[in-house]
Amino acid sequence: MKIGLKILVFLAFSWGSLDAQTIIPGWFENLPDAPAGNMYAVGYSGKYINQSIARQAAIKKALHNMVKQQRTRLVFEIEEYSDGRLRLLNPSLELSYDESILNRIEATYATIDSSITYDGYFILISLNSLQRAPRVPSDDTGWDENKPKWTTSLPKSKNFNYGVGIVSNYSSWVRAWNDADEYARFDLGKNIKIDAHSIHAIERDNKYIIESKILQQSYDENIEGAIIVSRWYDAENDTYYSLCRQKKL
Amino acid sequence: MKKLIIIALMIPLALMLVNCGGKPKAKMNDIPEWYLNPPKAEDAFYEAGDAAKQSMSLAKESADARARDAIARTLEVKVSNMLKNFMQQSGMGDDAEALEFTSSVSKQVANTVLRGVQIVKREMKTEGSQYHAYSLAEYNLNSLIQETVNEAKKQKALYNEAKANLSFDDLEGEIQKLEAVGN
């Protein structure tokens, strides 16, 4: 009876940990540098009954990621109003890209590596086919136990711009990574340039100080060569981190 | 039996007391040191922002926006002080046109596109059911000097009204000396 209970507890815990996405290909966590003139992109999909459908979904995701890496138009706006009692926050994020780039990539891309884990299907593609097979770590690994430094401090570099995306409490890890990646792209855009306006007013009487504020920040930019180079999953807090990098022009 | 009744009465009372506190506050140990005391540097200045929200991504967006806003506001004051000093040294600090020029340039610099403002540090804490994000924005002093020079040049007509015989090189030279602005 006791042994049965132990097995049940073990299964429950192992099921939970597998569900929390513990096994991933190394290149999903840290994207290797592609050979000069080429570019890598990662695609992923969740659980599918049919493996070929999972692969198709992962390839589709990788192709769209490749297009976004090439050139994306990002329109960002955030407004915050507060009058001491009420506080309203209204962020708006729009991402768009040229479909013709997608058609071009579909004709030239090559698969570098792929992996099936308990959670889903992962695929690594390159922009153009490579003459020699690249050295890409193909082993599946677990997430780094130590929190990477970039999750709290933005990397400093003369050659690259960076942005970080953070999301939490998602029921689907595919959506969570998708949103963390997009937030990282928008964060990179904000770190390059942003239009900022604000009005602050402070009203004092004998009892209270009321601070009213209208804050507006926005940008509308075409971002080229912004790549998600690192990801990290904080299993303890169920939080997803993505790091986006762009070579400075 | 008496003990049981006392305990039964204590539990709702304890829950009431817990709920009376309103929104949970951040523990002092949890607040990042750089939020309480933003770093100082000769070539950059820093401002911090924070926000507590139910959604982690909203908390981050809001904290980032507030840190950037703080940079923009500090920037306006710094540029205004810097231009006022220059105008006074040029013997025209009280002229209405000079004041208008100072005010106009500093406001425009603060409201213009902030290039290179980066969120260099960020921490996320949980407070009850809320996420509390802390962000530290960094602005490079070279960007400030460049923005001020560009804006002052744009408003050359206003400047010329203020003082026709002062060369623009004087103003540019004065702005370039502003290593102390970040301190």
Q: How many CB atoms lie within 10 A of CB A239?
A: 20
Q: Say yes or no to pLDDT of B29 above 90.
A: no
Find, in chain A, the residue whose alpha carbon is nearest to that of B57. A167
Residue A219 CA, distance from chain mean position: 20
Q: Which residue of A has its CA nearest to B73?
A: A198
Give me the helices (H) in chain A, please: 2-19, 26-29, 51-70, 99-108, 173-192
Residue B19's CB is within 10 A of a number of other CB atoms, namely 8
Complex ipTM: 0.83
Q: So what's the pLDDT on residue A10?
A: 42
For chain A, the domains span 2-6+24-140+156-247
In tens digits, what is the pLDDT along chain A, a chain of 249 residues? 455 545 444 444 344 334 446 688 989 999 999 888 899 999 999 888 888 899 999 999 999 999 999 999 999 999 999 887 788 999 999 999 988 999 999 999 999 999 888 878 999 999 987 766 666 666 777 888 889 999 999 999 989 999 999 999 888 999 999 999 999 999 999 999 898 888 878 777 777 777 788 899 999 999 999 999 999 999 888 999 999 999 987
Mean predicted confidence (pLDDT) in B127-132: 90
Residue partners of A105: CB distance under 8 A and separation at least 6: A63, A66, A67, A70, A127
Average pLDDT over residues B17-46: 76
Give the nearest partner residue to A191 out of B58, B119, B121, using CB atoms. Answer: B119
CA gap A165, B133 in Å, rounded: 13
Q: Which residue of B has its CA nearest to A89?
A: B62
Residue of chain A whose Cα is closest to the Cα of B123: A152
- At residue B12 the predicted structure's pLDDT band, cuts being 50, 70 and 90, is very low
**Which residue type does B49 have?**
G
* Contact between B107 and B76 (Cβ < 8 Å): yes
**Which residues of chain A are within 8 Å of residue B56 when distances are taken between CB atoms?**
166-169, 239
Find out whether A225 and A248 touch, Cβ atoms under 8 Å. Answer: no
Separation in Å, CA B40 to CA B34, B47, B117, B137: 10, 10, 15, 12
Please identify which residue in the block is written with the tokens 């971002």.
Answer: A223
Question: Higher confidence at residue B150 or residue B60?
Answer: B60
Buried/exposed A162-198: b ≥16 CB within 10 Å, e otherwise: bbbbbbbebeebbebbbbbbbbbbbbbbbbbbbbbeb
DSSP string, A36-61: TT--EEEEEE---SSHHHHHHHHHHH
Query: Would the CB atoms of A166 and B60 count as touching at under 8 Å?
Result: yes
From chain B, the residues in CB contact with A194 under 8 A are 68, 113-114, 117
Of B73, B114, B131, the CB nearest to A193: B114
* B145-170 per-position pLDDT tens digit: 777 777 777 666 666 665 554 555 66
Chain length of chain A: 249
Q: Specify the pLDDT at position A169.
A: 84
Give the other-Cβ count within 10 Å of A225's Cβ: 16
- Scored b (16 or more CB within 10 A) or e, B123-148 reads bbbeeeebbbbbbbbbbbbebbbebb
B117–A166: do the CB atoms touch at under 8 Å? Answer: no
SS3 A157: coil
Question: Which contiguous run of DSSP H or E holds residue B34?
Answer: helix B33-36
**Partners of residue A154 in chain B, C-beta under 8 Å:** 118-122
Cβ A13 vs Cβ A85: under 8 Å:
no
Which range, of A140-149, B48-57, B76-85, averages the lowest pLDDT? B76-85
**Of A176, A139, A142, A167, which is closest to residue A46 (Cα–Cα)?**
A176
Residue from A247, A177, A187 nearest A221 by CA: A187
Confidence band for B124, pLDDT divided at 50, 70 and 90: very high
Which are the contacts of B62, defined by CB distance < 8 A and separation ≥ 6?
A78, A80, A89, B49, B51, B53, B133
Q: Quote the mean pLDDT of chain B.
A: 73
Within a 10 A sphere around the Cβ of A228, how many other Cβ atoms? 24
Name chain A contacts of B137, Cβ cutoff 8 Å: none
Nearest to A154 among B57, B62, B120 (CB): B120
Are B57 and A179 within 8 A, CB to CB? yes
